[in-house]
C-alpha cells in the first residue's frame, strides 16, 4: 500500500483511510490512484433480526472491508497535487455523506450477503452441471 493521504472518522463510527498509490505512467505523466479502505466490524446491534445476524455471521464472518479506487489517468507532474486535492474534495462532497449515513453499514453488509449467496448458488449450479455432464454416456 502507498502512503496514507488522509483519514476520516465518520459519524456512524467508520474510519476511512485513503492511500495514495499514484504511479508514473510515462515521463512526466502519472496515473493518480487513491484507494479507500474502511474496516467494518459486524455486530448484532446493526440488525433487528437475530436470524439475519446469524446468517451474516455464517456467510461473512464478523468483519468486512469496504474498498473503493479512484483514478485519474495521464496527469502531468506539475498538476499532481492539485488533481489529488480536487479528487479528495469531490470524494468529501459526494461519497463521504453516503458512507456517513447510519444505514450505510447495514446496507453494505446486506449487499455483501446477497453477493455471497449468489456466488455460492452459482458454484452449486456449476457443480451440479459438471456432475450431470460426467454421468451422461453416449
pLDDT digits (tens, 9 = 90+) for 115-125: 999 999 999 99
pLDDT at residue 93 is higher than 70: yes
Mean pLDDT of the chain: 93
Residue spans per domain, the chain: 3-135
DSSP, collapsed to helix, strand or coil, labels residue 27 as: coil
Confidence band for 135, pLDDT divided at 50, 70 and 90: low
Confidence band for 27, pLDDT divided at 50, 70 and 90: very high
Confidence band for 2, pLDDT divided at 50, 70 and 90: confident
pLDDT at residue 44 is higher than 60: yes
Q: Which burial class, exposed, middle or buried, applies to 75 when counting CB atoms under 10 A from its CB (0-12, 13-18, 19+)? A: buried
pLDDT at residue 41 is higher than 70: yes
Confidence band for 85, pLDDT divided at 50, 70 and 90: very high
Nearest to 72 by CA among 27, 26, 28, 34: 34
Amino acid at each position: 500500500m502507498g502512503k496514507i493521504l488522509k483519514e476520516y472518522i465518520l459519524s456512524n463510527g467508520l474510519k476511512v483511510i485513503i492511500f495514495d498509490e499514484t504511479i508514473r505512467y510515462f515521463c512526466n505523466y502519472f496515473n493518480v490512484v487513491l484507494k479507500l479502505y474502511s474496516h467494518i466490524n459486524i455486530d448484532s446491534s446493526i440488525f433487528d433480526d437475530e436470524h439475519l445476524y446469524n446468517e451474516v455471521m455464517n456467510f461473512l464472518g464478523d468483519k468486512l472491508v469496504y474498498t473503493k479506487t479512484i483514478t485519474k489517468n495521464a496527469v502531468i507532474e506539475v498538476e499532481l497535487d492539485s488533481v489529488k486535492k480536487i479528487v479528495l474534495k469531490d470524494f468529501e462532497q459526494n461519497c463521504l455523506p453516503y458512507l456517513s449515513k447510519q444505514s450505510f453499514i447495514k446496507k453494505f453488509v446486506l449487499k455483501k450477503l446477497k453477493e455471497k449467496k449468489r456466488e455460492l448458488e452459482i458454484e452449486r449450479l456449476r457443480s451440479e452441471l459438471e456432475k450431470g455432464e460426467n454421468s451422461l454416456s453416449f
